[in-house]
Amino acid sequence: MPHVLGLRCKECGRDYPAEPIYVCDYCFGPLEVAYDYDSIRKSISREKIKDGPLTIWRYDDLLPVGRENAVDIGAGMTPLIRATNLGRLLGLNNLWIKNDSANPTHSFKDRVVSVATTKALEFGFDTIACASTGNLAGATAAHGNKAGMKKVVFLPENLERGKIIGAAIFGNVVLVRGNYDDVNRLCSELGDDRRWAFVNINMRPYYSEGSKSLGYELAEQLGWRAPQHVVVPVASGSLFTKVWKGLNDFATLGLIDGVPTRMHIAQAEGCSPIARAVIDGQTHPRPVIPNTIAKSLAIGTPADGIYSVAIAKESRGSATAVPENEIAAGMRLLAETEGIFAETAGGVVISALKRLAEQGVIGPDEETVALITGSGLKTLEAVQDEIDPPVIDATVESFDEVVMGAVRRS
């Protein structure tokens, strides 16, 4: 890609070539893709983006690899929906839902994996792999198949059925006894002496760039404008930092006027190291052992924790640790008002949004986007005990007795 300068350490600023590496040799800081914005400015425009494909690849001027050989199963350009019903209930007149459960494997992870897999092919890897909290597994396995690559996908054993089957249908899934942090450590060890492309380990600098597309899309779909608030579900913190980066890229390039956006972190109380650090005024999240039903967010040692804390502060945002017993309620609230069935991470976001509205952190007329990053069909366990539709005989009498009777009684 002509616009990529290489990799740069986020801590000490040292430059590296664009290779499958992810930590700085000098300070062990994480590496990030560095771009030549002056050259991008000359080639990018709103018109050119609008003429691009209806996927994340319309933004390939700002991605680490071009669209020519993209491993593309259709990630991106998901609906941004005006949430009038939920907004009315929460007293928010300008509320939007970005529905990333509409991605091909039903989570935002298709964005990051599409970029990482394309880059892995370019590097000449023949095997794609990942350490997943759930959604990444399905996305990696699906893109691996599309790319015709070998793949090995690692998941914690105690995940929801929908996550396991939704990934294993694509093949080559391995369940590991332990939590995500154990899986991640195992994968780091495996990666030491195998030439595999672990999308979220040695490919992480490229992987995380895929998340910027969510920020780009928000701005484009709002009519080339950054919203005043974004509420983001946070696990490692990668998505959170890259939505902010995406919005700021657009401002740097003059595609939008500026970034007034306040960035809000949503985590579940049972795994909220980043939210806790923000709330307690600390710069470094303290590692935790996850114990939450929001399994897709269950990372106890978040790689992008300190950067997320810094962005919440810099953007005058906030952080919410949503009580575990409010997660299913958030899922139901979104389903009942907007007709969207989100996974547990979405329940976390909607409950956090509700609190921010009640506390007045988000004003009634301020433009707000809540990110729904995964589908509720993969986390049925979270709500199945509360959902109990009536069963009737196939007769009018049975309908009248059971259903109309219940209506009369209520």
Ligand X SMILES: *Cc1c(COP(=O)(O)O)cnc(C)c1O
Identity of residue 121: L
Question: Does residue number 403 form part of the binding site for Zn ion (CB under 5 A)?
Answer: no
Q: Site mask, Zn ion, residues 25-64, x = CB under 5 A?
A: -xx-x-----------------------------------
Q: Which does 234 bind (CB under 5 to 8 A by kind): ligand X, Zn ion, none?
A: ligand X
Partner whose footprint covers residue 236, from ligand X, Zn ion, none (CB < 5 to 8 Å by kind): ligand X
Alpha helix (H) residue ranges in 104-237:
109-123, 135-147, 161-168, 180-192, 204-209, 212-221
Q: 98 vs 232, 245, 371, CA distance in Å?
A: 10, 17, 5
Residue 7 CB partners (closer than 8 Å, separation 6+): 15, 16, 17, 18, 19, 21, 31, 32, 33, 34, 205
Residue 105 per-residue DSSP state: T
Is residue 239 a contact residue for ligand X (CB under 6 A)? Answer: yes
CB distance 29 to 7 below 8 Å: no
**107 in contact with ligand X (CB under 6 A):** yes
Q: Does residue number 24 form part of the binding site for Zn ion (CB under 5 A)? A: yes
Question: Contact 106/136 with Cβ under 8 angstroms?
Answer: no
Choices 51-59, 154-162, 234-242, 280-288 (CB under 6 A): range interacting with ligand X: 234-242
Q: Are 232 and 264 in contact (CB under 8 A)?
A: yes
Residue 135 contacts ligand X per CB under 6 A: yes
* Complex with ligand X: residue 94 or 300, whichever CB lies closer: 300
Q: Which of 51, 105, 60 is closest to 78 using CA atoms? A: 105
User: 318 pairs with which residues across the strands?
Assistant: 264
CA–CA dist 221, 103 (Å, integer): 16
Minimum CB separation from ligand X for residue 16, in Å? 22
Instruction: Residue 387: name its binding partner from Zn ion, ligand X, none (Cβ under 5 to 8 Å by kind).
Output: none
Alpha helix (H) ranges present in 256-322? 273-279, 305-314
Of 69 and 188, which CB lies nearer to ligand X in the complex structure?
Answer: 188
Q: Which residue has the tokens 């709103």?
A: 46
Binding flag, residue 238, ligand X (CB under 6 A): yes
To ligand X, the closest distance from the beta carbon of 237 in angstroms equals 5
Nearer to ligand X, 63 or 234 (CB): 234
Binding of residue 272 to ligand X (CB under 6 A): no
Grouping H, G, I as helix, E, B as strand and the rest as coil, residue 341 is coil
Which of the choices ligand X, Zn ion, none does residue 140 contact, using the CB cut-off of 5 to 8 A by kind? none
Q: What track of x and - describes contact with ligand X for positions 278 through 307 (by CB under 6 A)?
A: ------------------xx----------
Record the tokens describing residue 372, joined without a space.
């729904």
Q: Does 72 bind ligand X (CB under 6 A)?
A: no
Taking CB within 5 to 8 Å according to partner kind, which of ligand X, Zn ion, none is near residue 345?
Answer: ligand X
**What is the spatial distance between Cα 74 and Cα 64, in angstroms, rounded to a whole number?**
18
Does residue 373 interact with ligand X by CB under 6 A?
yes
Smallest distance, ligand X to C-beta of residue 352, A: 13
* Radius of gyration of the chain measured on its C-alpha atoms: 21
Residue whose structure tokens are 């433009």? 367
9 lies in the binding site for Zn ion (CB under 5 A) = yes
Name the residue nearer to ligand X (CB basis): 255 or 382: 382
Instruction: Look up residue 319 and give its two tokens.
Output: 């952080």
**Residues listed for the chain:** 410
Given Zn ion, ligand X, none, residue 237, with its beta carbon under 5 to 8 Å by kind, binds ligand X
Position 374 contacts ligand X (CB under 6 A):
yes
Q: Residues in the site for ligand X, rule: CB under 6 A?
A: 107, 109, 133, 135, 233-240, 296-297, 343, 345, 373-374
Q: Residues in the site for Zn ion, rule: CB under 5 A?
A: 9, 11-12, 14, 24, 26-27, 29
